[in-house]
Structures are given as C-alpha cells and as structure tokens.
Chain A
Amino acid sequence: MAARVNNRTPLYILCSPQPRVGRTLIARLLIDFFLMEDRPAAGFDFVVEPPALIDFLPHHTVQASIASIEGQMALFDGLIMPDHTAKVVDLAPASFQQFFSVMAEIGFVEDAHQRGIEPVALFIAAPDPASQRAYAELQRALPELVLVPVYNEAIARGQRARQNFPPARTVSLPIQIPALAPHLHRYLERPPFSFADFRSRPPHNIPLDTYMELLRWMRRAFVEFRELELRLLLGDVRASLLRGAS
C-alpha cells in the first residue's frame, strides 16, 4: 500500500558477504509479499547453487550476472526502469563487492532517485567480523543508499546486532525476520514454491496447526516489510515537507 501512495518503484537488494545466512529465503518472502498485495514483482537471481530463487519462483525471477559488461547492462538497465514493478535482487556473496562497486561507479543511486526509485540494501547482519566490516564499508562507499540491517533470528540469535550494525538514519532501522521452527522447513524447501500459493492453497498433507504456524511466521515477516515501506514513505514525506519549507 505504501508504495502505491508514494508512487515509488521499490528496489530491494538482499545482500551479505557470507553464504547461508537466509538471504534467498528472505528474497522469496519479499517477492511473495508484493505479489500477495497484487503488486508486480520481479526477482534477480545470482544463482550460485540450487535450489536458488529462480527455482522457487521461476515465473517471477530472471538470472543475473555481473561478471561481463553485457550482464551488467541486463541487470542495472532492468533495475533502473521506473515501471512500478518491485525488484528484489538476491545478491550472491561472490558478486557482493563487484555489484556495489559498479553501482558506485555508474552513479546508480543518484540516477535511481531521479527516476523515483529508492534502492534499499537489506544487509543480513551475520555474527562475523567480515560482515561487520562489509556493512561499515558499504555505508562509507554509498552513503546515499538506504542500508537496512536485517536481523535474521535464525542466524543471529543473541548477538549484539544493534551495536555491530548501527543504522545510519531513521529510515534504515533494522528489520527482524523471525526464526522458522526446524520442523517447518520441509514444507518450504522443495521448489517451485510460492508463499502466495501456499496461503491460498494449503498442501493436503500439512497438519492444520503447522499450517497456521507457518502463516503466523509469514505474517510476522510481512509486518516487518510493511513497516519498512512505511518508514521509506515517511522519509519521502519528511523530505518533501523540508523542500517545501525551504
């Protein structure tokens, strides 16, 4: 709803310099969050190993690469389109450095702002020093980029995330993805899989309480996404009021 009001084209980059931190699961959730709100969404997948985002949501995802100039053109020329399609990038750790380096070199963030696109990097706050360093470097290298720490409870329980991944501004307050109980994983991990389909057509072999538990988990994650969108919207409103006052 928020994006409809502010008319921005959402662009979320799920990223971490580390593998196996829940990046793809959150990317899947995010794409389905938009689809369940009847908002067009597209995934960009740096496939590393199956099952990847493109395996789970093949009709809504394209393969991305940044190694060649042709790959960079296909990716960034697609991401910069102000077509009101929410874009979700599942950025592989191997491409992390190059992606943000190209983004800085071609002036992506500034140009995106001019086209009504707010790029948001959703950085998985993993409890390792390399992630903390990468987070701080990204904040320095791309100060205009909204950098939001993602506290994935499945990997970061008990860590001092707020201290290690301090948000740079109000709009970048962290989002918290609840941990998924281990017995629920098997219902989500066989591609293709869409949370939207799962909600509207529950599989016949799932016990009702398990199904409800999964829906509750989805709902908690979606509340986090919705609050992030509201913060972005409020950021826009605040900026617009400040422009009007000056």
Chain B
Amino acid sequence: MKPAVILIGADKGGVGKTTVTRTLLDYFVAHNVPTRAFDTESPRGTLKRFHPDVTEVVDVTTIPDQMKIFDTLAEADAKVTLIDVRAGLLSATLHALRDIGFLDIVKKGQVTFAVFHILGPSIASLDEIAETAEFVTDAKYFLVKNHINNTTFFEWDPATYDSYFHRVKNAVEISIPHLNEMACEQVELASVPFLTFVANKNAGGDTASYSFVLRGYVRHWLGNVWAEYDRVKLTEISVPK
C-alpha cells in the first residue's frame, strides 16, 4: 500500500489546525487505518497531549527531524502520516518538501500527498492560497473553513474567494461545523481524543464522568465532521482504488 502524507497547516495561528488534526486521527482510527502524527509545535506539542501514543513532537525545520518523518514513510507501520504544521510554517514546510525532493516522489506517484489548508477569517488567508498553489499541483488540496469557534468568514467577498479557490486545480472545500464552546472546553480539559470523550473514558482508559449532554454534542459534531471527510472520500487516500 502506498504511504500517504497529510499536511495540516495555515500561516496564521489560532485557526484550529490541531483540532482538525485531532478529528483526522479519530477518523482514521475509526476506519482502522494505521496512522501516526507529527506535531511540529516543538517543544510543547499540543497534539501530543491528546494523542500521545501516536504522536511525536518534531522541529520540521531541522534536517534530523525531516529525516525522522520522510525517511521512514515506506517502512512505518502506519500508512498515513499526519503532520500538524506549526502556525507560520506552512509555506516554509512546503518549500522544505520541495527542496528535499518529496514533491518529486509525489509527482511520480510513489507517495500520496494531501494538504489541509485551514483558512482563517481574514483576507490574508486568501493570499496564503495563492502562495500554496504552486506546491500542491500533484497533491489533494483541501481548503478547510473551520467554524468550530463560530468563525464567520466576514471579510470574504464570494467572488474574490472563488478567484483564489480556482487557482488551485482540484481544490476541494471542507467545512468544519461549530462545536458548543463548553463541549469544546471540556474535551480540552480532559486532554483525550474526541472519540475517547464520547465513550466517556479518561486518558487511562477508565470510565470518566463527562456530561452526557456534552458528549452528545461532541458525538453529533464529530459525526458531521466525518460526513465531510466521507464526502471528499478521504479514506481513498490510504486505500488504493
């Protein structure tokens, strides 16, 4: 099976990259797709707090850590590699991927490459699309509007957005719905994957006492997020047609 690399990033902070990465990890777990993740928020690593067993904190700008990610693609048990790119490093990471020849092996079809570009509400996000376009010609490119914090993309004129959107061939839009603030906070406090929260378990696997209502909201929200991933046929990334 061909390995797949999914980059989740944005050049702006606070747009929900790690949240989206967490939903992706849960999605692949639920579909029995072996997946590993790299958290580039070195040295802290927010993603690692939620998914410690499959996440490694790396500094993607250093060569040893680039080797750790890309030299192991073929032999890793996990066929899907998620990279949660630190705010401001998306462009730099894409440059690095080109420089190390990763984009060439993508072009040759040896690796599946997908980019989840998380958009913020400002017009600057649209400029990021233009900057990213040249690197994703052979990738599956997903433009993610993240409404989890009730974001309204108020600065966007639909015509302007469309003009940017169409610059990237085969760009696909994904919409992450809003999640109730208290439900969101409680999962943060619990520091567990969304699926674990829904199952009312703590990080140690023991039964927890999370609110039934909040778990219900998270379950419903996660179902809607996954419906988006189903719509864009995300599992086909890891399973050859």
Which residues of A line the B interface, CB within 8 A? 69-70, 72-73, 76-77, 80, 102, 105-108, 111
Contacts and interface: CB of A to CB of B under 8 A. Distances in A.
B216 to A, nearest CB: 2
B212 A77 contact: yes
B216 A111 contact: yes
Interface of B: 180-183, 211-217, 219-220
Given A73-B214, A80-B212, A105-B217, 13 more contacts: A69-B180, A69-B183, A73-B213, A77-B211, A102-B213, A105-B220, A106-B213, A106-B215, A106-B217, A106-B220, A107-B216, A107-B220, A108-B216
A215 to B, nearest CB: 40
A105 B222 CA distance: 12
Given A105-B217, A105-B220, A106-B220, A111 B212 contact: yes
Contacts of B213: 69, 72-73, 76-77, 102, 106
A71 to B, nearest CB: 10
Q: Which 6 A-B pairs have the closest CB atoms?
A: A106-B216, A73-B213, A76-B213, A69-B182, A73-B211, A80-B212
Q: State the majority secondary structure of interface residues on B.
A: helix
Nearest to B210: A77
B189 to A, nearest CB: 14
Nearest to A70: B182
Contacts of A73: 211, 213-214
Contacts of A107: 216, 219-220
A73 B181 CA distance: 13
Contacts of A76: 212-213, 216
Contacts of B214: 69, 73
Contacts of A77: 211-213
B100 to A, nearest CB: 46
A77 B212 CA distance: 6
Contacts of A80: 212
Contacts of B215: 106
25 contacts: A69-B180, A69-B181, A69-B182, A69-B213, A69-B214, A72-B213, A73-B213, A73-B214, A76-B212, A76-B213, A77-B212, A77-B213, A102-B213, A105-B216, A105-B217, A105-B220, A106-B212, A106-B213, A106-B215, A106-B216, A106-B219, A107-B216, A107-B219, A107-B220, A111-B216
A72 B213 CA distance: 7
Contacts of B220: 105-107
Nearest to B216: A106
Nearest to A75: B213
Contacts of B211: 73, 77
A80 B215 CA distance: 13
Nearest to B211: A73
B208 to A, nearest CB: 13
Contacts of B180: 69
A111 B213 CA distance: 11
A174 B180 CA distance: 37
A140 to B, nearest CB: 18
Which among A70, A102, A107, A111 has the highest number of chain B CB atoms within 10 Å? Answer: A107
A111 B219 CA distance: 12
Contacts of B219: 106-107
Which among B181, B211, B213, B216 has the highest number of chain A CB atoms within 10 Å? Answer: B213
Contacts of B181: 69
A106 B179 CA distance: 12
A111 B216 CA distance: 9
A177 B188 CA distance: 49
Nearest to A105: B220
Nearest to A68: B182
Which among A72, A80, A106, A107 has the highest number of chain B CB atoms within 10 Å? Answer: A106
Nearest to B209: A77
B79 to A, nearest CB: 32
Contacts of B217: 105-106
A32 B72 CA distance: 69
Contacts of B182: 69-70
Contacts of A102: 213
B26 to A, nearest CB: 17
Nearest to A102: B213
